[in-house]
Structure 1
Amino acid sequence: MITCLFIYTWKILVVDAHVLVQGNVIWRHGDRSPQYTYPNDPYKNLWTDGPYQLTETGKYQMYELGLYLKSKYGHLLSKCYRSDEIHIKSTDLDRSKMSAQCVAAALYSPDNVTEWKGINTPWIPFPLHTTEASQDWFAKMYQNPVIGCPEFHRYLESLQVDEFNAIDKNYATEFSYITRMSGVMEEFNFKNYFLMHDNLLCLQANNYSLPAWVDDQLMKTLGQLSALYVASRFTDLGMKHVKPLSKLRTGVILEHVIDNMKKWIHGEHRLSFIGYSGHDWSIAAILISMGAYNWIVPPYASCVMLDLYKESDGTYGVEFWYRNDSASKPTSFSFYDCGHKCSFDRFLLTASSVSTDGDTESLCNNSNYIDHKLISFVLVFLTSIFFMSRISFK
């Protein structure tokens, strides 16, 4: 009896020693209005707040996500906001900033302790961190085909010419059909059809009837194409070059997550929750770089969670989770041979094949990098000659 009690107690201690110490969470904003309208659009005047604005549905989705995150990470946070415990970064766009505010509102619901005196409202202010898009690594990760990473653009474009041509050929009937029915002048293809699909998805998400010419099969086809399109921003569709491409671009997310974890482990800070308020491509980018993309566009309010745990022996481990449905529990996913959970050292080793490791600028500007190396070599060489000549003269 005593032996059994000892074993049972030891098991409790081991379980308790697997302690969550930090969460790094990347989420997509909530439901929003569409960017695009078309000549035959029966809902042209529906979205009075303007394009790409968070809807009431979207606000509820993000508040619900915040409640879930509070249930998982709330024990790491004080009831009152403390800047040394939590940091939320958002892309500098209305929908992502408003989504972050909704998440924060759920994380810090006012009570008797945090009552905002003099204001009779169940809300307290929360500081969000943003950077102007052209200077923001989080935003530039998506925009960099044009700015910031010519080497990535050259590499990816060379891989996708045949892929895009094949898709345009295979789906020519569908592209021609939506062009005709929508009344647009420019022919739809794989590079621009998503504008129409986005419009239809926004209607569907807000329970409006789709135009009569849109049936379930067309929406299914467009959904499959959208999964390809989102992936095509970051990798070849055959996924044969995903690791070197990730190292040039999407690995920058992992670089920041690793830095967050290292700083916690080494006591440089005690941030327990780091949130990144982004977009569908933010989720897709990190899943693709980790070899876990499921070929489904990340839905509104979905999130990827990379959790740091302290183990019973004093070492650290990392777990990977994806929440893409508020009605279901998050699912674990595997990070290549690291699995869905691995030691921190193993995590660093696996991530080294896809993360930028702080060398983004030289990797993205390969020709410039070579020039700088050449210049450095020439300077060293000339300096050596100079000193050698002085020695010989003496």
Structure 2
Amino acid sequence: MQIPALIMPKIPNFNKPMWLLHTLFFLILCRAALTLAKSDTSNQSQQQIGSNYALKGKLIFAHVLYRHGDRTPIEPYPTDPWKKREYWPVGWGELTNIGKQQHYELGKWLRRRYDSLLNLTYSEDEVYIRSTDVDRTLASAMSNLAGLYPPVGNEVWNKDIAWQPIPVHTIPERIDKELAGKAPCAAYDYARSVVLNSSEFQKLNQRFQYLYDYLTKYSGRKVDTLEAVQRMNNTFFIEALYNRTLPDWAKKVYPSADMTYIADFAFSIGTYTRRMARLKIGPLIKEMLHRFADKARGSLKPNRSVWIYSAHDTTVANVLNALKLYNLKSPGYTACVLFELRLDENNHPFVSIFYKNTSAEPALLSIPDCGVACPLAKTFEIYKDILPVNWEQECKLSTMMMTYDEANIGMAMVILGSIICAMLVLSYIFLIYYRRRRYSTYAYAQMA
């Protein structure tokens, strides 16, 4: 009688090259996926170098983008005790005398900063001023110019008025894709709706639902979004600034950490994804960079030295966020972004960006992956993803749907990385199981 002899099952050899290859591949893919996700979600940082950093090179051109000055509330809420017009010096959303003075002082500051670029007398071939088609921004630009170009010599047309009229250009908001950013764009509207309906924003809405309900109950207005809270916060801010006593219910939530956070965060929503930044503020940034290029090669006509934009807090925040420089602090009145073009010792152009918010002097910002003095060509390369090639064509919804679906690219990368890791783990487990089963099939053998 033959007796089967027991043979021990063979254990897979974990020192074999195949196992090492699978393990290495697994680790590399996991690392790559997590790194990609991390890099996409780190765009909200701002590096400030300070105002005393000395930049070498010759200044040849400057773009100036600023927010308007002090204003009244745009729209009081239904139960607002200060909603009557007679309580305020000017109409709703209009520039106040304080705002005029703020911009007059900023104009004098700009004169000192760019005295090497500007003559004492105004010339349309030297400077150009563009404003959004809104009363407070137009009035801010004119007040700013009063400080920038006080009349001298033959410019004095009335000895009793130390002021001269200087043109401020504008176009209707409905067709302004660069500065107002309100020209119709179906692709942007879609991308924005995807973001607002994403799981990330739904969690934020759940987190602040108590505040939505509270403000809705007492203000008499439906408040159900982060931006609606930001608008309420702004009204409270202005009323407190003008010593208008807030209702007791308002004092319980203003100022508070949550309302401040929402007010600051809300300014990033308009350019939350790179696709949104490309469609919302990309045309303006592209216009400035191309003007820099024309100036550097001597083809700018007229050969101006300063270009000024008068706009809003949303404009300032959108530009900073698109450039990955927004520090999650609401732009204050007369907040100012300065884009400066210089030539180095070899006549190569480079770009520097300054931000003047609440401080007396601007902070020099560090352009991501480039620094405080970024070669113009590299600046184009760094921000290529937000410079539209054909804005009108890209705004068509069909084009956007074929090329982008950015609810939250950072979260998508995390999910993708997790899926890849899970699949590799499962394949690795299956590989071990398969080998064990294969060897166990021959675990017993008949002996002669």
Q: How does 1:84-99 map to 2 (within 5 A)?
A: 84-99=125-140
Residue 330 of structure 1 deviates from its aligned partner by 0.8
Q: How does 1:2-151 map to 2 (within 5 A)?
A: 18-45=57-84, 46-116=87-157, 118=158, 120-141=160-181, 143=182, 147=184, 149-151=185-187
C-alpha separation in 1, matches of 2:342 and 2:388: 24
Structure 1's 187 and 259: CA in aligned 2 closer, same or farther, altered over 3 A? Answer: closer
C-alpha separation in 1, matches of 2:265 and 2:102: 25
Structure 1's 187 and 108: CA in aligned 2 closer, same or farther, altered over 3 A? Answer: closer
C-alpha separation in 2, matches of 1:112 and 1:140: 36
Residue 298 of structure 1 deviates from its aligned partner by 0.8
Residue 188 of structure 1 deviates from its aligned partner by 4.5
Residue 178 of structure 1 deviates from its aligned partner by 2.2
SS, match of residue 252 in structure 1: helix
Residue 122 of structure 1 deviates from its aligned partner by 1.0
User: 1:20-58, CA deviations, whole angstroms, 9 ceiling, x for partnerless residues?
Assistant: 111101111011111112233221222252211001111
1:165 equivalent to 2:202? Answer yes
C-alpha separation in 2, matches of 1:293 and 1:86: 27
Contact 2:293 2:376 in 1 (8 A): no
Higher relative contact order (CA 8 A, sep 6+): 2
C-alpha separation in 2, matches of 1:363 and 1:140: 18
Residue 360 of structure 1 deviates from its aligned partner by 0.8
C-alpha separation in 1, matches of 2:243 and 2:119: 39
CA RMSD of aligned residues (A): 2.3
Paired amino acid for 2:226: F
Structure 1 residue aligned with 2:393:
362
Residue 273 of structure 1 deviates from its aligned partner by 0.7
Q: 1:275 aligns with which of 299, 305, 308?
A: 308
1:197 equivalent to 2:230? Answer no
Gaps of 5+ in 1: 1-14, 236-241, 372-394
Structure 1's 97 and 187: CA in aligned 2 closer, same or farther, altered over 3 A? Answer: closer
Residue 368 of structure 1 deviates from its aligned partner by 6.1
SS, match of residue 338 in structure 2: strand
1:312 equivalent to 2:345? Answer yes
Structure 1's 54 and 156: CA in aligned 2 closer, same or farther, altered over 3 A? Answer: same
Structure 1's 341 and 206: CA in aligned 2 closer, same or farther, altered over 3 A? Answer: farther
SS, match of residue 288 in structure 1: helix
Paired amino acid for 1:198: N
Structure 2 residue aligned with 1:154:
190
Q: 2:245 aligns with which of 200, 203, 209?
A: 209
User: 1:111-137, CA deviations, whole angstroms, 9 ceiling, x for partnerless residues?
Assistant: 345312x45201100100100111112
Contact 1:164 1:190 in 2 (8 A): no
Structure 1's 16 and 204: CA in aligned 2 closer, same or farther, altered over 3 A? Answer: closer
1:331 equivalent to 2:371? Answer no
Structure 2 residue aligned with 1:252:
283
1:223 equivalent to 2:254? Answer no
Contact 2:317 2:331 in 1 (8 A): yes
Contact 2:71 2:94 in 1 (8 A): yes
Structure 1's 100 and 187: CA in aligned 2 closer, same or farther, altered over 3 A? Answer: closer
C-alpha separation in 1, matches of 2:164 and 2:253: 45
C-alpha separation in 2, matches of 1:209 and 1:300: 22
Contact 1:178 1:188 in 2 (8 A): no
C-alpha separation in 2, matches of 1:180 and 1:108: 50
Residue 366 of structure 1 deviates from its aligned partner by 4.8
Residue 98 of structure 1 deviates from its aligned partner by 0.4
Contact 2:71 2:99 in 1 (8 A): yes
C-alpha separation in 1, matches of 2:64 and 2:262: 27
Gaps of 5+ in 2: 1-53, 403-448
User: 1:263-305, CA deviations, whole angstroms, 9 ceiling, x for partnerless residues?
Assistant: 2122223211101100011101111111011111111100111
C-alpha separation in 1, matches of 2:191 and 2:56: 46
SS, match of residue 308 in structure 2: strand
Q: Give the fraction of aligned pairs with identical amino acids, expressed as a percent.
A: 26
Q: 2:297 aligns with which of 266, 277, 292?
A: 266
Question: Normalising by structure 2, what TM-score?
Answer: 0.72
C-alpha separation in 1, matches of 2:74 and 2:329: 21
C-alpha separation in 2, matches of 1:152 and 1:212: 40
Structure of larger gyration radius = 2
C-alpha separation in 1, matches of 2:388 and 2:66: 21
C-alpha separation in 2, matches of 1:154 and 1:210: 38
Question: Normalising by structure 1, what TM-score?
Answer: 0.81
Paired amino acid for 2:121: C
Residue 254 of structure 1 deviates from its aligned partner by 1.2
The number of aligned residues is 343
Structure 2 residue aligned with 1:5:
none
User: 1:339-369, CA deviations, whole angstroms, 9 ceiling, x for partnerless residues?
Assistant: 2221112112112122224x21121115269
Hey, which bits of structure 1, 4+ residues long, moved more than 4 A? Answer: 368-371
Of residues 155-164 and 77-86 in structure 1, the stretch that sits farther from structure 2 once superposed is 155-164
1:232 equivalent to 2:265? Answer no
C-alpha separation in 2, matches of 1:309 and 1:320: 11
Of residues 211-220 and 293-302 in structure 1, the stretch that sits farther from structure 2 once superposed is 211-220
Structure 1's 318 and 288: CA in aligned 2 closer, same or farther, altered over 3 A? Answer: same
